[in-house]
């Protein structure tokens, strides 16, 4: 259910200071105007008669043209959060403002481009026909749609595989096809759920470069879920950390590296400092370790 008026739970429960702190975490001053604004979002699943809390009063903004990465332990609700923004499911409470408007789930469908964790290619369509689907559903004629998809195939090293069916592609190739389909739709907000998870290191690097290039050319915004702290820092303007289930926003890390980003920035002091802070937040290293 979507609350019609936004009444922060924490205020009602007397958790005034926490609500204030989380509000300030949601968007730093001077951020671009949000095109996605999530407030007080909580979600649960019903499992074998029990209620499983998955997201807990999440506040999160993505600004126009901004790239936000979301990291957190497995099961912290990252995919659920993207499902909610995409309109596949409705949260228990909270407000989702997309391009300035609040809509129920079914009206959020299709407003953002969503690449889910599973590639979800149609088995009866060839690779290029799968990728072209994002344009065909918008009324672009089949020939033009496939020409555009074919062009993107070259960028991602998929040339020669246009007429191959998904079952004959490797996992990494299917993911790239799904990635092309997601990017072709032209939506201003892209939701990516671990898009590079199963790619080998070299393909992953070129897919990251391609993503950065497409986003910077089109001024699109992205919310990327990733397990990879380095990938988050390299790509994003801001990294948001969720706690373990139920996921709460426990940290936001603005990435101060200049753009265009290059891979050698990984060795910079700013990069290393951000990595340590994020790993600390994830409980993977401890503050002061080694000193």
Ligand X SMILES: Nc1ncnc2c1ncn2[C@@H]1O[C@H](COP(=O)(O)OP(=O)(O)O)[C@@H](O)[C@H]1O
| Chain positions contacting Mg ion, by CB under 5 A | 79
**Would you say 79 or 182 has its CB closer to Mg ion?**
79
Q: Which is nearer to Mg ion, 72 or 87 (CB)?
A: 72
Nearer CB in complex with ligand X: 12/74:
74
Least distance in angstroms from the C-beta of 168 to ligand X: 28
The CB-of-38 to ligand X minimum distance in angstroms stands at 15
Q: How far is CA 53 from CA 25, 105, 245, in A?
A: 22, 19, 7
What is the radius of gyration, based on Cα positions, of the chain? Answer: 19
User: Starting from the edge strand earliest in sequence, which strands make up the sheet with 93-98, in order?
Assistant: 50-63, 34-47, 93-98, 101-102
Share in percent of the chain as helix, strand, coil (round to 5): 40, 25, 40
Size of the site for ligand X (CB under 6 A): 13
Distance between CA 229 and CA 284 in Å, rounded? 11
Nearer to ligand X, 89 or 272 (CB): 89
Least gap, CB of 187 to ligand X (angstroms) = 21
Q: What is the largest CA-CA distance in the chain?
A: 62
In the complex, minimum distance from the CB of residue 83 to ligand X, in angstroms, rounded to a whole number: 7
For ligand X, the closer of residues 53 and 65 by Cβ is 53
Closest by CA to 258, choosing from 229, 237, 231, 230, is 237
The distance of closest approach from Cβ of residue 258 to Mg ion in the complex, given in angstroms and rounded to an integer, is: 31
Task: Please choose which of Mg ion, ligand X, none residue 75 contacts, taking the beta carbon within 5 to 8 angstroms, the exact cut-off set by kind.
Answer: ligand X
Query: From CA 184, how far away is CA 187, in angstroms rounded?
Result: 8
62, 68 contact by CB (below 8 A): yes
Q: Name which of 8 and 247 has its Cβ closer to Mg ion.
A: 247
Q: Between residues 49 and 139, which has the closer beta carbon with respect to ligand X?
A: 49
Pick what 74 binds: ligand X, Mg ion, none; C-beta below 5 to 8 Å, kind-dependent. Answer: ligand X
List strands edge to edge, sheet with 113-115.
113-115, 189-193, 221-225, 67-71, 238-242, 249-254
- 60, 98 Cβ separation under 8 angstroms: no
**Should residue 243 be labelled a site residue for ligand X when binding is judged by CB under 6 A?**
no
Q: How far is the CB of 257 from Mg ion (least distance, A)?
A: 26
Binding partner of residue 91 among Mg ion, ligand X, none, CB cut-off 5 to 8 Å per kind: none
Separation of alpha carbons 65 and 218, rounded Å? 9
- How far apart CA 6 and CA 9 sit, in angstroms, is 9
Binding positions for ligand X, 31-90, rule CB under 6 A: 45, 47, 52, 54, 72, 74-80
- Closest distance between Mg ion and the C-beta of residue 175, in Å? 14
Given the rule CB under 6 A, which residues bind ligand X? Answer: 45, 47, 52, 54, 72, 74-80, 245
């Amino acid at each position: 259910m979507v609350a019609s008026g936004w009444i922060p739970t924490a205020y009602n429960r007397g958790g005034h200071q926490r609500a204030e702190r989380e509000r300030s975490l949601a968007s730093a001053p001077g951020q671009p105007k949000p095109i996605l604004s999530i407030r007080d979002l909580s979600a649960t699943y019903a499992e074998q008669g029990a209620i499983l809390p998955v997201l807990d009063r999440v506040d999160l903004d993505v600004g126009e043209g901004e790239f936000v990465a979301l990291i957190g332990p497995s099961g912290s609700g990252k995919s659920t959060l993207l499902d909610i923004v995409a309109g596949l499911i409705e949260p228990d409470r909270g407000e989702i403002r997309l391009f300035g408007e609040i809509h129920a789930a079914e009206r959020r469908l299709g407003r953002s481009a969503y690449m889910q964790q599973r590639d979800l290619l149609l088995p009866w369509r060839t690779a290029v026909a799968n990728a072209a689907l994002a344009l065909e559903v918008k009324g672009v004629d089949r020939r033009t749609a496939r020409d555009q998809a074919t062009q993107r195939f070259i960028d991602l090293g998929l040339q020669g595989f246009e007429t191959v069916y998904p079952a004959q592609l490797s996992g990494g190739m299917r993911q790239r096809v799904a990635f092309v389909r997601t990017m072709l739709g032209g939506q201003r907000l892209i939701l990516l759920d671990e898009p590079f998870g199963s790619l080998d290191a070299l393909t992953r690097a070129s897919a990251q470069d391609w993503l950065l290039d497409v986003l910077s050319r089109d001024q699109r915004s992205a919310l990327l879920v990733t397990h990879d702290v380095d990938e988050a820092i390299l790509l994003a303007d801001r990294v948001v950390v969720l706690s373990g289930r139920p996921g709460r926003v426990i940290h936001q890390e603005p990435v101060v590296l200049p753009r265009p980003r290059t891979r050698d920035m990984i060795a910079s002091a700013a990069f290393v400092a951000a990595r340590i802070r994020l790993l600390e937040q994830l409980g993977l290293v401890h503050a002061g370790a080694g000193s």
